Every structure is written in structure tokens, then in C-alpha cells.
Amino acid sequence: MTVAPDYEELARLAFAYLERQVWFQSAIDSSSRAQLELVTSRTLRSSLPGLARLVIGRGEQRFQVLVGWREPAELAEVLHGRESALLGPVFDGGEPVLAYDAIADDELLLELLVHVTGGREHASRVRRVSSLVSHASLVYDERLFMKCYRVLERAARPEVEVLLRLDKVGFNALLAPVANWREDGLDLALVREFLPSALEGRLLALTSLRDLLAHASSGEDGRVHEPGADPGSPPPGTDPDAECAAAGGDLASEMRRLGATTASLHLALATAFGDRPAGVSTFAGAQSAVAAADGPGAAQLSAQLAAVDPATAGRTIRLHGDYHLRRVMRSEVGWLVAGFSDDPLYAASDGSSPGRRGSAVEDLADMCFSIRRVAQEALVQRPDAEAAVATVLARAWARRNQAAFLEGYVTTDGVRRLLPRDPSVTELLLATFEVARELRYEATSADA
Amino acid sequence: MSSGERSTVDSPIEPAEVTAYPHGWHELDDDPRWYERAVFYELVPRSFYDANGDGIGDIRGIVEKLDYLAWLGVDCLWLLPFYPSPMRDGGYDVADFWSVAPDCGTVDDVRLLVAEAHRRGIRIIADLVINHTSDQHPWFLESRSSRDNPKADWYVWGDDDQRWSDIRVIFCDAEPSNWTFDPVRQQYYWHRFFHHQPDLNYENPDVRAAILAVVRFWLDLGIDGFRLDAAAYLYQRDGSSGENLPETHAFLQQMRKEIDRDYPNRMLLAEVNQWPADVVDYFGDGDECHMCFHFPLMPRMFMAVRREQRFPITEILAQTPPIPDGCQWGIFLRNHDELTLEMVTDEERDYMYAEYARDPRMRRNLGIRRRLAPLVDNDRGVSELLHALLLSLPGSPVLYYGDELQMGDNIYLGDRDGVRTPMQWTPDRNGGFSRADFAQLVLPPLMDPVYGYQAVNVEAGTRDRSSFLHWLQRTLAVRRQHPIFATGGIEVLPADNPSVLAYVRTGSDEEGERAVLCVSNLSRFAQAAELSLGRWEGARPVELVGRAQFPVIGPDAYVVTLGPHGFYWLDLEGRG
């Protein structure tokens, strides 16, 4: 077969295929009784192996399936280990061919890159990073990353929009967009740079904590406990802040750099999407969340916030909106901001809301919360016998790195105009948003 | 011999008295690109071995230890200055370019050293101080004597000390300015280093000709090349930093041209303490220096180990541009100077001081004057890891004498003498360095209980098969078997663990494509990492030291586990 098979036939196979996919079951609107239908189809390659793009609708929802077809004899080798990608046989009057999810076929994925980038990019290798979410993640030659969307959105995807506009205003602390495949008003795929050695900030933080906690807790520094003293307690005279500063794996300089990168991000977001004066709504949500929380601290925060004149609360910008140590990556060229993602399978579950507008302090609070969380995470890995000293040190570590992050942020030229003029208001907002973030986290954890 | 005249060298070469070592001799290969694969060994002649018993190391002493160096597996010796000098800066204040300091020997001794070294397959390069002289050099004495003598313009003179005021002072601990007033000539003279080291005036063609004559003199003697001291500062210009100026490059290219024309298989190694993007200019288009030191890499190796994460190293590798064919980086862990921290940020410098030089006596200028072993708390695992990095990263490694023993330092000695103490050969008197009375010694040998010569010496190291010395000797031998370490490309691989540094050295030889995976654990704790080795799917890695076979690389991530500060060199083409 050298021409595309019957699309209606392909679509019927694709419908059944979709119904078998975990991501599809998570993504569909279960309240809708709409049936699957073929919305558009296009042949990308008509020879063998063939490649076509199907957009399948279910009510207002749209899904993309890339379909390949090959002769049965050669498909077994192609699908080796990925047989679940098979859609089924297709006939067009000649010999039957087998249709399958093209994401399983390296050869077609290499073709896809050429197609998506308009012929500007070619690669010799491709690997799949994950296929269990609403998009397929593909890495080409360890230098390009393609997100091929399965769940399509009618509105502009925040990820695509933000990346393209930040790139346009010259913000380069991100994995730069290379190509955006968009047809019929739908974002179908995004290709951006891939820096293989870039690592999540969380991993650096855990490395730093491991160094600190092992050094100080296990007596590597030669400290001698008094006879009979609890080995899990810090020896008298121990200054946890000084121990953090003196640790070889101290992360404060990196956190300062991350703070500066974050400030540059916010300034770029303000340039790309504009900034507006803050209003009551800027912190109303956080205020009510805090007000509803238990504890005198929360009540005090809420009361203090009630006294703040919104007009003095700085500017609102388009936020990152889901800013934490998993969303920033350390690379050879410094910190990179990632995670402008809008994966519908995940964004809703953790309470984040990428792409919304708000006070820049919200992103800062999210990161400060994340720093505190990772310190708690590291504690879990230490023996119970060291819990007391490790807890003291982990808290000091979090304080030190939060302070370094914020210092790097506020000392960046031009960023203060986004913040409240009065630093005490900034601190108040920071505390409020951080508590609100924690409440969201706890609620999510409880649900989980 | 006094200034400006060549010595005549016509005395016969006497056979050297040598000690037998079991291995190491090999032919000197006729290869103009030998330096790309060479392992260099830097030594301070006055501190290496005293052959005549006057308490000061000498050239004959080096000759006597050549078999040891051949056994160790080094290919080229870099000798610190052995020229006559008032010794106010370790010999970098040269008072006569044409001769050898009497306490080091004679020109004949140098000729003997070259011959004996070449017989063992070892080359010799000499430090050549081209930027300045001692203020006791006859050229300067004549220049300062009046404003109209024949050498009046051989140095850089000015009527005040205001010109080029933006140019940084390098020895900021010791010198308030780059100008010093000369009461004889009643003018200021320019010096980028100590005030007793006036800069030569390279605008003067006679100066350029004189330096080129010095170069020819030593090359005629058989020296294999030069380490060009302070090569970046030869010229000054208004409104410039006084560094890396085009005129400087033009002169170095002229020097290279003459060497290429008349002296095959010789090389120039530039000391340019700058960022890699600036240093690559010293390679020219392959027509300037054959080698340049990669200064910023060195502190970052130490930083990476202390931080237990790879980014300090991978960051500087990413900032290192490609170099022309036929050129090579010189990389090192420690040398005769302080661990220089000029090419780091202020924050990184503070970090390095806090981690490696808490005692202010350990600091000097913008650096740390300590040897390798004390820097890493005498941790053998860290020393091995750092050497594994040194021997597998792109560039020709430069070892510093004594570091193969894990020798210590003496921070109570002045200037950088603390890292230039006598080589420790035996547990006997003066560490076997000299038969002279202790009081006569050029510097006191180390006698502390940890690093002292009674415990740390060549004799003990060679007897103990599990010593660091033996480990290094074996590792150098492995490196020699795989030229890809010297000439291959490098590709840093992604690893999901920040404490793991993985890179592949790639290239080809007569047998085809080669790839060696170097993976290191920068942490003091055991680590695991997943590596993406899909390109080598189906290959069975072979560890280069023990030849052990590792699991076949499959389609999924390749899991590597490493002990504390552990490392592997794995042949990915299955020809280990």
C-alpha cells in the first residue's frame, strides 16, 4: 500500500485504541455522553511506513492520535516490546497493513521531527521519556525535546504561549523553543531545546542536605558528645546556622543565583504580558485560606493582612504559578526555569494554576515552601537516632537557603518595582502565601 | 657568565650516576605532536635532589632521578627557572638568561640532563620568563643608569605612576601599584609582578630580538620547549587591561614561526591565567602556542568534590571553546604557585577559602598556597578521584613533584616556599634529598608526623605495592595505553544524580571508533546513577584497569553504582 488507508477505518481503530489508554480515561469529561468522532485527518507520509495525524473529538474535547501503518512482516520488529501500540489491520482493497500508534515507531518519529520543524531539524536517534501522560515526550539526539500533545486544547496552551513570548522578550533562562506545530487553531506539538545534563533543583538541594546532615549528625567533624548525652542532640554550643554556612555542600550561592534568575523571569513575564497594580483580589484567596486555618499564627497573619492597603501591595504579573524546586533546573549555563506545563492530568491535582496573574510574591512563597519541604524530605532519610540534631540542622538549612534565594531576588536590578514598597508588607505577603501553599499541599496530600 | 653573551658549551658529557628502576624506558618518538599525549611532571630543581651535597637541589640531581621518573611514567619534565637569580621570586626574577645558576649547576649539566632524559624517552621543557627580568639583570642595571644609554628603552619607563592606572595589580598582597620609582634614573618603571621584576619593553625590536636569541640558545642545547611565564602581559595599551593584546599574539606567533622553521618537535606552553575563551587566542590558528594551561578548571575540580556535585566542572567545560588541531590544554591539580582563584567569582573564592584555607596563612594573593594532599585532608580516595579526573579530562596532565607521594606543605614558610619543600626520597637524613647539614638546606624538609619524610617518601612508596605512588604509576600506564584520553573528544553525559559526573571520550584509532566512558562519584558516599548510553546499545563495557566486563548496555538507562569517591573508566567498544 503506498497511499493512505481509509481514514474512517483508521478512526474506528483509533477510537478503540483511545478507550484502552489510561491517560485518555483520566482526561475525558465523564459527565459528557458524547461519542468519539473523527474531526480532521491528514497524511504526513503516504509511503510505507505511512504516517497520518488524526484529531478525534468527543464533544468539546479534542485528542490527537498519530497513526502509522506498515506491512505485518516488518511491524513485529518495530513494535518489539510495545505491542500495545497496535491499532489493528486496515484494508484498502490490496494487501492488508497494520495500523499502530506512530509514537512507537522510531523511524516515523524521526520523520515527525522534520515535519514539525519545517525541515529545519533532523535527528538520527529518538527516545521516549514517558507516554503515560497527556502528551508523548520525545528526546532527539539528546539535544531536542518534543512534546507531542495527545489531549488538545482549543485555547492557547500556557506552556506554548509563555515559552514563545518569554523567548521573544529575550529571557534565556529556559529551554528555548525551536518549533511549534499548530494547525486549525490547535497546538499539536512543541519542540524545544534539550539539555541532557540539566537536573532538577530538588536533586541539588538533597545533595546539599545529605552533605550537611551526614557531616554534622554522624560525627564526621570529630565533635565529641559528653558522656551520657543523647547522640541525637546537638552538642552544647552548636550553632546550626554556622554549621550550614560551613558545610562543603552549602547551597546558598546556588540559591542566590536561582533568586536572581527568578527575578529575571518575573521581569520578563511583566514585559511579555504586562503588569498591573495589585488589588484586593491579589491576596484575597490566600487571606481567606489562612483565615480558615487553625492556629493563632494563621489568625494573626489574617488580621495583619486585613490591614494592608491593596494599593501598596505592588504589581501583579503573569505568574509561573507552580514554582518549586522540581520546576527549576540547574544546567551548565546556570539555572533554567521549566514547568510552564499545563498537563491536565496533573495540574488540577496539586492545586497549582499555571498561567494565572498574581503577585510575584506568590511564586517566591511557593519556592520558599519548596525549600522547606525538601529539607523535611531529607530528614526522612536519616536514622531516627539523629532526628533531633538533623531536624535542627534541616530547619537552619531551609532558613539559610530561603534567605539566599530571596536575597538573590531582591538584589536584581529593577525587580523591586514589582514588590510592595514596604518590605514588611512583602514579608507579610510571603508568609501568607507560604501558609496558603502549605494548606494546599496538605489538602492535596490528604486527598492522595 | 655575565649578561647578554652566549656561553660556549663544549665540555664532554659524563655518564650519569643513576639508580635502577625496573620499568619505564622507552624510545623518544619522532612526533611533532608528542605534547598532546604527554604526561608532564613539574619540578623545582633546587628542591628535587641535591647531587653535590651543598644543600641545594641541582640539575645533576635531576639526572640521577631520571630512572625514577621514567618508572613513574612521565613523558616530559618541566623545570622551574634554573637561571642565575637573586631568588626573590623563586627564580622568576632572572638575572642572566644565558646561564645556569651556580647552585643549580652548569649549562653542561643541562645538556647532560637533556641527553640522559631523551635516552629514557623523556623530554625537557624549561620555564622561560619573557615578560620581565630581575632588577639585578645587567639589562636593567644599564637601562636605569641613564635616560640615554643603549638599553634606556629596554624597559617601560614613565615620568609618573598614573598611566594605565586601570590595569590590575596581580600581586595585590605585596604591591600597591604596577609602577615603582627608580631613584637612579628618577623615573617610574612598569612591573606587572613584584617591584623587583621590571617588565621588558616589547615595543623595542632589540628586546624582541634578544628574547628570541635566548630561545634559540636553549633550543640549540636540545631543550624540547618552553613554558612561557606570564605570556599575557608583554604589551600595554592605553584604555586596555594590559592583557591579551594583539601585539602580544604577534610576538608569540613570530617566536613560533622561528621554532617551527629551525627546531622540529619543540613546543611552547603558555601560562595565561585567563578564561578559556580568552586563552584560546593563544593557540592562534594553530600557529601560536602549542599548549596553554586551563586555569579555571583546576579550582572547580576541588569545588566539585567539596560540593559533591558536578556542575562546577561541567560548567567550565561548557565554557571551553574548541581549540585548533595540533593544540592541547595543559591541566593540573596543583603546581608551584598558589591554587589560583583569579578565575572564579568572588562568591566562589570565599567558598574556596572557607573550605580549603581556613587558616589565613594558607592564603596568598588571590589563592591558596597548599599542596594537594593537605588540601584534601590527606584523603587518598579524593586524591585518586582528582587524579582520575585529571588523567581523563581533555588535556595533557601536569603533575607536581611530590604529589605522587601525597607530600604535605609547610604554611609557616614565606611566599610559596611552603609548597616547594625538598622532595622526600627516603626516611633518612634530610629525607634523602641532600647529604648536607640540615642548616644548609635550601628549605627545611617536612618532618611532621603525617607528611614528614620519615613516613612519606619515594622509598616507602615504591616498596609498598598498595601505595598511592604505585596506584598512580599503574593509572598512568593505563592512560598511556589509551591515547583517546589525550586526543579524543569529550561529551558530558546526562546523569540523574548530581554527585555523578559522566563523560565519554570519543575518537578513532587504527582499529576504528573508540569510546571510553569515564564516570566518577564526587561524593564521599556511595552513589548510583542512570546513564543514557543508547548509542552504545549492545556493547559490553570493559573496565580499563582490571579488564572486568560489565553488563551489556540495553535499550534502557544504564545503571552504575559507585563507591565513595569511586570512578570507572569503561571501554564502550569492548576492546578494553
Say if residue B12's pLDDT is above 60: no
Please give, rounded to a whole number of angstroms, the shortest distance from the CA of A383 to a CA of chain B.
Answer: 16
**Does the pLDDT at position A422 exceed 70?**
yes
Q: Are A362 and A368 in contact (CB under 8 A)?
A: no
Three-state SS annotation for chain A: CCCCCCHHHHHHHHHHHHHCCHHHHHHCCCCCCCCEEEEEEEEEECCCCEEEEEEEEECCEEEEEEEEEECHHHHHHHCCCCHHHEEEEECCCCCCEEEEEHHHCHHHHHHHHHHHCCCCCCCCCEEEEECCCCEEEEEECCCEEEEEECEECCCCCHHHHHHHHHHHCCCCCCCCEEEEEEECCEEEEEEEECCCCCEEHHHHHHHHHHHHHHHHHCCCCCCCCCCCCCCCCCCCCCCHHHHHHHCCCCCHHHHHHHHHHHHHHHHHHHHHHCCEECCHHHHHHHHHHHHCCCCHHHHHHHHHHHCCCHHHCCEEEECCCCCCCCCEEEECCEEEECCCCCCCCCCCCCCCCCCCEEEHHHHHHHHHHHHHHHHHHHHHCCCHHHHHHHHHHHHHHHHHHHHHHHHHHHCCCCHHHHCCCCHHHHHHHHHHHHHHHHHHHHHHHHHC
Minimum CA–CA partner of B320 in chain A: A332
Q: Is B135 a catalytic residue?
A: no
Scan for cell 578548571, then name that residue.
B297
CA torsion through residues B422, B416, B331, B533, sign:
positive
Closest alpha carbon within chain B to A253: B347
- Residue A148: beta bridge partners? A136, A189
- Residue B575: its pLDDT value, please? 46
Whether residue A128 contacts residue A102, with contact meaning beta carbons closer than 8 Å, is answered with no
Cα distance from B387 to chain A (closest Cα, Å)?
20
Q: Select from A157, A181, A205, A184 the least CA-distant residue to A371.
A: A205
Chain A residue nearest residue B556, CA to CA: A127
Residue contact B532–A127, C-beta within 8 A: yes
CB B48 within 8 A of CB B406: no
**Contact across the interface for B532 and A142, Cβ inside 8 Å:** yes
Residue range B75-93: mean pLDDT, rounded:
95
Q: Which of B319, B495, B498 sits opposite A204 (nearest CB)?
A: B498
- Sign of the Cα pseudo-torsion (A407, A173, A203, A147, in order): positive
Distances (CA, A) of A399 to A235, A248, B105, B302: 21, 17, 62, 27
A203 touches chain B (CB under 8 A): yes
End-to-end CA distance of chain A: give it in Å, rounded.
49
C-beta atoms of B306 and A204 within 8 A: no
Find all residues with CB under 8 Å of A433, minimum gap 6, and list them: A283, A286, A359, A361, A362, A364, A365, A366
Domain locations in chain A as residue ranges: 7-193, 199-447
Which grid coordinates are listed for A155? 485555547
Q: Which residues contact B191 (CB under 8 A, 6 or more apart)?
A: B132, B175, B178, B179, B180, B197, B198, B199
* Mean pLDDT (whole number) for B336-363: 78
Burial label for A425, CB within 10 Å (0-12, 13-18, 19+), is buried
The CATH code for residues A7-193 is: 3.30.200.20
Domain A199-447 has CATH 3.90.1200.10: yes
CA distance B46 to chain A (A): 36
- For residues B214 and B244, the answer to whether their CB atoms sit within 8 Å is no
Please check the confidence at residue B405 and state whether its pLDDT lies above 90.
yes
pLDDT band at A344 (very low <50, low <70, confident <90, very high): very low
pLDDT of res. A345:
44
Active site residue B537: no
Q: Which of B300, B302, B306, B309 to mutate to test the interface with A (most CBs of A within 10 A)?
A: B309
- For B303, nearest residue in chain A (alpha carbons): A248
Q: Which of B308, B315, B495 lies nearest to residue A207, judging by beta carbons?
A: B308
Angle at A368 between CA A364 and CA A373, to 5 degrees: 145
How far is Cα A400 from Cα A272, in angstroms, rounded to an integer?
Answer: 32
Q: How far is it, in rounded angstroms, from Cα A195 to Cα B491?
A: 12
Residue B434, number of CB atoms within 10 A of its CB: 27
Are B496 and A203 an interchain contact pair (Cβ–Cβ within 8 Å)?
yes
Q: Decide: A387 and A233 in contact? Cβ < 8 Å.
A: no
How many angstroms away from the CA of B519 is the closest CA of chain A?
14
Q: How far apart are CA A444 and CA A238, in angstroms?
A: 37
Range name among A170-184, A276-290, A335-349, B490-504 with the lowest pLDDT average: A335-349
Q: How far is B347 from chain A (nearest CA, A)?
A: 7
Nearest CA-CA distance, residue A117 and chain B, Å: 24
β-pairing, A97-101 vs A61-70, is antiparallel
Q: Which residues contact B135 (CB under 8 A, 6 or more apart)?
A: B93, B141, B195, B196, B197, B198
Query: Helix, strand or coil for residue B530?
Result: strand
Using a CB-CB cut-off of 8 Å, the residues of chain B touching A198 are 494
Interface residues of chain B, partner chain A, Cβ below 8 Å: 306-309, 311, 314-315, 317-319, 347-348, 351, 354-355, 492-499, 523, 525, 532, 534-535
* Phi/psi of residue A389, nearest 5 degrees: -70, -35
Residues 6+ apart with CB under 8 A from A294: none
Q: What is the pLDDT of residue A109?
A: 96
Contact A332 B315 (CB under 8 A): yes
For A41-90, write each residue's pLDDT tens digit.
Answer: 999 987 888 999 999 999 989 999 999 999 988 888 888 888 889 999 98
The pLDDT-based confidence of B6 (bands split at 50, 70, 90) is very low
pLDDT digits (tens, 9 = 90+) for A393-420: 999 999 999 999 999 999 999 999 999 9
**Taking CB atoms and an 8 Å limit, are B523 and A127 in contact across chains?**
no
- Per-residue pLDDT reduced to its tens digit, A228-265: 555 555 555 678 888 888 888 999 999 999 999 999 99
What pLDDT is stored for residue B36 in this prediction?
Answer: 96
Query: Can you tell me the ipTM of this complex?
Result: 0.78
Contact between A418 and A362 under an 8 Å Cβ cutoff? The reply is no
Whether residue B140 contacts residue B152, with contact meaning beta carbons closer than 8 Å, is answered with no
Tens digit of pLDDT for each residue in B285-322?
A: 999 999 999 988 998 999 999 999 999 999 999 999 99
Q: How far is CA A432 from CA A327, A352, A428, A446, B23, in A?
A: 22, 16, 6, 21, 72
Alpha helices in B221-307 (DSSP H): 246-262, 276-279, 297-307
For residues A80 and B460, which has the higher predicted lDDT (pLDDT)?
B460
Q: pLDDT of B19-57, one tens digit each?
A: 556 555 566 888 999 999 999 999 999 999 999 999 999
- What integer pLDDT is reported at residue A30 of this predicted model? 80
If one compares A431 and A34, the residue with the highest pLDDT of the two is A431
Q: Pull the grid cell for residue A135.
A: 502528551
A116-130 per-position pLDDT tens digit: 999 999 999 998 886
Which residues are CB-neighbours of B10 under 8 A, at least 6 positions away? none
Grid cell at residue B255: 617566536
What average pLDDT score do residues B524-530 get? Answer: 96
Task: Report all structural domains of chain B as residue ranges with CATH numbers, in order of start.
Answer: 34-127+205-480 (3.20.20.80), 132-199 (3.90.400.10), 488-571 (2.60.40.1180)
Among the listed residues B36, B67, B96, B229, the single catalytic one is: B229
Nearest to A230 by CA among A381, A391, A387, A379: A387
Is there a contact between A92 and A5 (Cβ–Cβ < 8 Å)? yes
B386 vs B305: CA distance, rounded Å: 8
Averaged pLDDT score across all residues of chain B? 91
Of B93, B109, B271, B571, which is the active-site residue? Answer: B271
Q: Facing residues of A40 across strands?
A: A55
State the average pLDDT for chain A.
86
Q: What is the pLDDT of residue B199?
A: 98
* Chain B residues near residue A411 by CB distance under 8 angstroms: none
| Alpha helix (H) residue ranges in B453-564 | 458-463, 468-481, 484-487
What are the tens digits of pLDDT across the range B233-271?
999 999 999 999 999 999 999 999 999 999 999 999 999
* Mean pLDDT score, B463-476: 96
Measured CA distances, A108 to A67, A187, B337, B531, B532 (Å): 10, 20, 58, 25, 22
B138 DSSP assignment? H
Establish how many alpha carbons lie within 13 A of residue B277's alpha carbon, considering only the half-sphere containing its beta carbon. Answer: 4
Nearest residue on chain A to B522, alpha-carbon basis: A207
Cβ of A210 within 8 Å of Cβ of B525? The answer is yes
Alpha-carbon distance A306 to B537, whole Å? Answer: 62
Q: Copy the grid coordinates of residue A448.
A: 492522595
B576 pLDDT tier (thresholds 50, 70, 90): very low
What is the distance between the alpha carbons of residues B5 and A403, in angstroms, rounded to a whole number?
65
pLDDT for residue B512: 84
Buried b / exposed e along B519-557 (16+ C-beta atoms within 10 A): bbbbbbeebebebbbbbbeebbbbebeeeeebeebeeeb
pTM > 0.80: yes
Residue A23: band (very low, low, confident or very high) from pLDDT cuts 50, 70, 90:
confident
CB atoms within 10 A of CB A398: 23
Residue B258 grid coordinates = 622561528
User: Is the backbone peptide bond immediately before A49 cis, with ω within 30 degrees of 0?
Assistant: yes
Strand partners, B396: B330
Instruction: Decide if A125 and B499 are in contact by the 8 Å CB cutoff.
Output: no
Provide the 3-class DSSP secondary structure of residue B373. Answer: helix
Residues of A in contact with B495 (CB under 8 A): 197
Closest by Cα among B227, B208, B311, B194 to B40: B227
- Give the residue on A whose Cα is nearest the Cα of B526: A210
Comparing CA positions, the residue from B261, B258, B244, B270 lying closest to residue B35 is B270
Residues in chain B: 576
CB contact under 8 A, A249 and B309: yes
**In this complex, how many residue pairs, one in chain A and one in chain B, have their CB atoms less than 8 Å apart?**
64
Residue carrying C-alpha cell 634606556: B152
Give backbone dihedrals phi and psi of B292, rounded to 5 degrees, phi first. -135, 145
